[in-house]
Structure 1
Amino acid sequence: MSGASVLFDSPGPRARIRNRIVTAVTVVLVLVVVWAVYSALESKGQLTAAKWEPFLTGNLWKTYVLPGVQGTLTAAAVSIVLAMLLGFLLGVGRLSHHNGIRRICSVIVEFFRAVPVLIMMIFAYFFYATYDLFPSKYLALAGVITGLTLYNGAVIAEIVRAGVNALPRGQSEAAEALGLQWGQIMRSILLPQAITSMLPVLVSQMVVVLKDTAIGYQITFVEMVRQGTNVGSSYGNYLPALIVIAILMICVNFALGVLATWIEGRLRRSKRGPEPMHVAPVTQGSFGAGAGGTI
């Protein structure tokens, strides 16, 4: 059995012909749908060159796009850092041997996972405004960061708990047999290994944080999607504006993925063992060479 057909039988001549026909029909249908959408948009005048010309001016980028990019990246960066810290604290707390700490962390995680992000943003926004905890200029930013941090911190806590529990139990048992405390085992043995395996999931959660910043428009937060709709309403080019915003979001998410791949590679290389020693082969004449004789 070949490696390509481990999970299923190799298709016969009739199955291959049928698969080619289905593929060809699917491609034709997709092309028809794309052409129909393009024709509808073209008839509305949304794809004409005049609709794209505003993006060639610096005024549009300075007034609309760049402030939205700055707001999105600022909120996402701060929320990711705080959510990581909160998530690791709650995740380790849920793994604690202390019953009280474990229950408190479990209640916090389950509560913030159940509450929608938008409700937490709105609550934080009005809470900060009522007690004047932040300047009015930063109220929306603080509300968005609070909502994203609490929700994603609870999600990351579950990721941490699952990553540590997925490790072989024999490692912690061996560490306990050596006399290490629970904190030492978690800090020196379990978490370093779990981070490497959790990295793809953590990157996916970072992308979620970045995209969820768009919800902040409900509390007047200036972010990319809101600014894209503002461009569309000002210049009458909603579709080109949203396409440009989508491309920018894709570029940022792709950069996050590349960064995570690089970090994962560095972590895996750093965990490799030392290079094996190269020992010269022993020949027959080498025995007794120190005594000046040969065998």
Structure 2
Amino acid sequence: MSTSVLYDVPGPRQRRLTLIISIVAAIAVLAGAYYLVYLPLDEKGQFSLDLWGPLVDPSNENFTLVWQRIWVGIENTLIAAALAIVSSLVIGTLLGVLRIQLKSIAGNRYAGFSSPVAYLLRGLGAGLAVLTRICVEVFRGLPVVITIFFVARGFPEFGITLDTLWYLVIGLTIYNGVVIAEILRSGMEGLPFGQREAAVAIGLSPFQTTTLILLPQAFRIMLPALISQLVVVLKDTSLGFIISYEETLNIGKQIIGVLSNPIQVYFVIAVLFILVNYSLSKLAQYVQKRLARGRKTANLPTAADVAPVDAGAAV
């Protein structure tokens, strides 16, 4: 039996056993789904065309109206998600850079100043660093639904009246902005310290070091975590129902109130969310591969970098 670095390669007998177990497990899952899911739903008439017709049968009198309403919900969901994603990335990036800068100030990176000014800057940086950390921990610890609710109820109390869309976007931005800030901050702090020392050696300021050296690398390194957070933003738009924003889930509740088919409507909405989130994930993975390919290509020597060979010298 051949041996791999980490495990023994299974032989013919082990492969047959694995295949048999996989087939038995698949049959067991299908049988469980048939007896525990399909049969109970079928006995209650959940597969009847009366319930599915408005969603799958174009000849149904409600089909066009139902999908018009669902499309309105999808549009509102995508608009809120796009605005929240952009604003969360902007706020998160600024907050992440700010936290790194405040840590630099508190760490006495301004030794060139006179002593009183240096102490003042260090104290100010330490105070602001504590304040920003408290804000991050508070907003990251609050459930996003509570943040959205307080934004929608608190802003009008201060005379700030906005469209329902903006209450949802602001609530999502507050929560996801601090999460993205922490993702980027951890990515920048995880980079080798020698890069900071090299930046200082060539005369870059702490701000230039952060924005030109650390931040671009943190974006590339933490891209998988950023992708996951952007998918969370899209899913969290469904919480807009608590402030009566007409996103997809809220539209679905309205349809259910008229047609009384919750399983069918929620199934269709779930499929739509899965398709959109899957598309977003694949797009982000494509961007990540393009960035990685571009970085590898940039490291390859060009024709101008290769010294020409003197044929006469080689003889």
- What CA distance in whole angstroms lies between the structure 1 residues aligned with 2:13 and 2:283? 45
* 1:112 CA drift (Å): 0.6
Per the alignment, residue 6 of structure 1 pairs with 5
Residue 156 of structure 2 corresponds to: 129
Tell me the distance in 2 between the aligned counterparts of 1:248 and 1:2. Answer: 47
Cα distance in structure 2, aligned partners of 1:16 and 1:269 = 37
Alpha-carbon displacement from aligned partner over 1:237-285 (angstroms, at most 9, x marks no partner): 22221121112111211221122123223323443235432555443xx
Alignment correspondent of 1:276 = 302
1:105 Cα shift?
2.0
Q: Determine which of 79, 84, 92 is the counterpart of 1:87.
A: 92
Structure 2 gaps, min length 5: 107-124
Q: Map of 1:30-41 to 2, 5 A cutoff?
A: 30-36=29-35, 37-41=37-41
CA distance in 2, matches of 1:263, 1:113: 27
Count of residues in correspondence between the two structures: 282
77, 80, 85: which one aligns with 1:75: 80
1:233 deviates by: 2.8
Consecutive unaligned residues of structure 1, counting only runs of 5 or more, are: 289-294
Residues 6 and 41 (structure 1 numbering): CA distance in 2 closer, same or farther, change over 3 Å?
farther
> Structure 1 CA distance, aligned partners of 2:159 and 2:64?
36
**Quick one: which amino acid aligns to residue 90 of structure 1?**
L
Work out the percentage of aligned pairs sharing the same amino acid: 39
Q: Is 1:119 aligned with 2:146?
A: yes
After TM superposition, the structure 1 = structure 2 runs for residues 203-214 of structure 1, keeping only pairs within 5 Å, are 203-214=227-238
- The TM-score, its normalising length taken from structure 2, stands at 0.81
1:90·1:109 contact (CA, 8 Å) conserved in 2?
Answer: no
2:265 is aligned with 1:241 = yes
CA RMSD of aligned residues (A): 2.4
3-state SS of paired residue (2:9): coil
Question: CA, structure 1 residues 10+267, in 2 after alignment: closer, same or farther (shift >3 Å)?
Answer: closer
In the other structure, the counterpart of 2:46 is: 46
Describe the shift of the 1:253–1:130 C-alpha distance in structure 2 as closer, same or farther (beyond 3 A).
Answer: same
CA distance in 2, matches of 1:159, 1:131: 32
When the two structures are superposed, what TM-score results if normalisation uses the length of structure 1?
0.86
